[in-house]
Amino acid sequence: MDHHSAQKILVVGATGFVGPSLVEECLNAGFQVICGVRNLKKAKKQLNFPGIKFVEVDLNIDTDPTVWLDRLRKFGIDGIINNVGIANPFGNQSLENVNVRAPLALFKAAELYQEENRRGGEELEKLRIIQVSTTGVSWPDCDRFDYPRTKKMTDEALSRMKNLNFVIVRPNIIYEPARGHLVLEQIARLPVIFYLGHAGIQPIHCRELAIGITRLLQKPYRASQMILQASGPEVMTWKEVFRQSREALGRPSAFYFRVPLLLGQLFTLLIQQLPDKLLYSLGILSKMDVDTITMMTKGSTGSNHGWLEQTRLHPIRLLETYKAVAQGPEDYAQFLEKIRRDYITYG
Ligand SMILES: NC(=O)c1ccc[n+]([C@@H]2O[C@H](COP(=O)([O-])OP(=O)(O)OC[C@H]3O[C@@H](n4cnc5c(N)ncnc54)[C@H](OP(=O)(O)O)[C@@H]3O)[C@@H](O)[C@H]2O)c1
């Protein structure tokens, strides 16, 4: 385990799917973690890790840099992961505020914080910033969809902030056994599986993403002012994702039906009305909208070379993951521990 006890990392968006893995892997790497969350009570339940601190944030509101500057000063922050991102306006949220204005206010505050430390004569290394974006930003028609359009606005504005030491990480579809927006173990139980389209995706294991991000936070910093595409190691269709996880979990073969996009869109309108418990039993953990389902059919592929080179990660394969899951919790824990320990040299 590496020890970076002096490095205090603010994880903005520490709850939800990816956030807790980021917090856990930062702790595993020896960082001190300050969790930026919008619901303290819910966060304390979800993030049951010793020694972490909490700060209340709301990116729908916090669009003024001074609010963030106070937080950076209060905790003496050395590094920031902005993991917040919303794909739709559920809960009356503004994508412009949550995905663009508030993160840019945070980054502006980071510039001011660096500046005032320099004036104060402190030999402070630049704040490290990791912005979690999405591969959807690379779609030629990304401006048609509010989610990648707003993520792109932030990526572009951050890329122009030349005083900052940032890395923009663009994950592909993220999965993790027993967690996440798609619970493949649950889907593998279904005798009939519906899927959308034949487009290629490169799903990335949530732990590969989280361990990779903690490595980007370790000194000496390898990558700076860079965009890294965090894609999984193989191009797959959705059908292949379901088939591989099912096979690894030892389930008998199923019937697969490709659903036309229009039907998928009607289905999402229905999904929006269903209770979360029922969605979970169907292997779906989050509410979707018509745009989200359309984006799922678009696919996204591309080289993960830069990501692996900068993080020196051993990429995690979906089939191997679910084979380890099928062996039981101890084997799966060892499987993840090996990823944490392995450093690969590239090039
Ligand atoms: N999941 C994927 O396949 C995928 C793929 C590519 C990129 N990404 C990106 O990865 C990041 C994490 O995604 P995820 O799947 O973990 O999403 P998620 O489960 O929906 O979590 C999003 C996080 O943002 C927080 N959040 C939402 N609105 C907020 C607000 N107004 N103020 C403060 N926090 C707010 C959520 O807090 P609450 O818990 O309080 O809601 C949660 O911590 C996002 O930036 C997303 O765009 C995800």
Report the DSSP pairing between strands 79-82 and 53-56: unpaired
C-alpha torsion sign, points 218, 221, 223, 225: positive
Cis preceding linkage at 220, omega within 30: yes
Using only the alpha carbons of the chain, give its radius of gyration.
Answer: 20
What is the extent of the structural domain holding 45?
Answer: 8-175+204-230+302-318+328-341
CA distance 193 to 191: 7
Going from the Cα of 174 to the center of ligand 1, the distance in angstroms, rounded, reads 12
pLDDT for residue 124: 65
Q: Measuring CA to CA, which residue among 119, 135, 60, 66 is closest to residue 92?
A: 60
Cβ-Cβ contacts under 8 Å for 145 (sequence gap 6 or more)? 136, 139, 291, 294, 295
Determine if ligand 1 sits within 6 Å of the CB of residue 166.
no
Sequence-ordered strand ranges (E) for the chain: 8-12, 32-37, 53-56, 79-82, 128-132, 165-171, 174-175, 192-196, 204-205, 226-230, 255-259
Going from the Cα of 206 to the center of ligand 1, the distance in angstroms, rounded, reads 13
Chain centre distance of CA 290 = 21
Q: How many CB atoms lie within 10 A of CB 284?
A: 18
Q: Measuring CA to CA, which residue among 346, 288, 274 is closest to residue 312?
A: 346
Task: Tell me if 61 is assigned to some domain.
Answer: yes
Please say whether the beta carbons of 75 and 8 come within 8 A. Answer: yes
Task: Tell me if 157 is assigned to some domain.
Answer: yes
Cβ-Cβ contacts under 8 Å for 92 (sequence gap 6 or more)? none
Task: Tell me if 244 is assigned to some domain.
Answer: no
CA distance 75 to 178: 33
Please say whether the beta carbons of 237 and 198 come within 8 A. Answer: yes
pLDDT for residue 345: 87
Look at ligand 1, atom 8, and give the residue with the nearest C-alpha. 134
Look at ligand 1, atom 21, and give the residue with the nearest C-alpha. 16
CA distance 246 to 56: 40
Determine if ligand 1 sits within 6 Å of the CB of residue 215.
no
Task: Tell me if 261 is assigned to some domain.
Answer: no
Chain centre distance of CA 27 = 17
- DSSP for 9-32 reads EEEES-STTHHHHHHHHHHHTT-E
Going from the Cα of 292 to the center of ligand 1, the distance in angstroms, rounded, reads 14
Into how many domains does the chain fold?
1
SS3 38: coil
Q: What is the CATH number of the domain that holds 132?
A: 3.40.50.720
Break the chain down into helix, strand, coil percent, rounded to 5.
45, 15, 40
Look at ligand 1, atom 1, and give the residue with the nearest C-alpha. 174
Task: Tell me if 187 is assigned to some domain.
Answer: no
Determine if ligand 1 sits within 6 Å of the CB of residue 58.
yes
* pTM of the model as a whole: 0.94
Task: Tell me if 195 is assigned to some domain.
Answer: no
Task: Tell me if 108 is assigned to some domain.
Answer: yes
Q: Measuring CA to CA, which residue among 318, 27, 3 is closest to residue 175?
A: 318
CA distance 184 to 178: 8
Tens digit of each residue's pLDDT, the chain (347 residues) = 444 457 999 999 999 999 999 999 999 999 999 999 999 999 999 999 999 999 999 999 999 999 999 999 999 999 999 999 999 888 889 999 999 999 999 999 999 999 998 887 766 678 999 999 999 999 999 999 999 999 999 999 999 999 999 999 999 999 999 887 778 888 888 999 999 889 999 999 999 999 999 999 999 888 899 999 999 999 999 999 999 999 999 998 899 999 999 998 998 888 878 887 777 677 665 667 888 889 989 999 999 999 999 999 999 999 999 999 999 999 999 999 999 999 998 76
pLDDT for residue 2: 45
CA distance 19 to 81: 10
pLDDT for residue 204: 98
Task: Tell me if 127 is assigned to some domain.
Answer: yes
CA distance 26 to 128: 14
Determine if ligand 1 sits within 6 Å of the CB of residue 60.
yes
Q: Is 49 exposed, middle or buried (0-12, 13-18, 19+ CB in 10 A)?
A: middle
pLDDT for residue 284: 67
Residue carrying the six token digits 């380890």 = 324
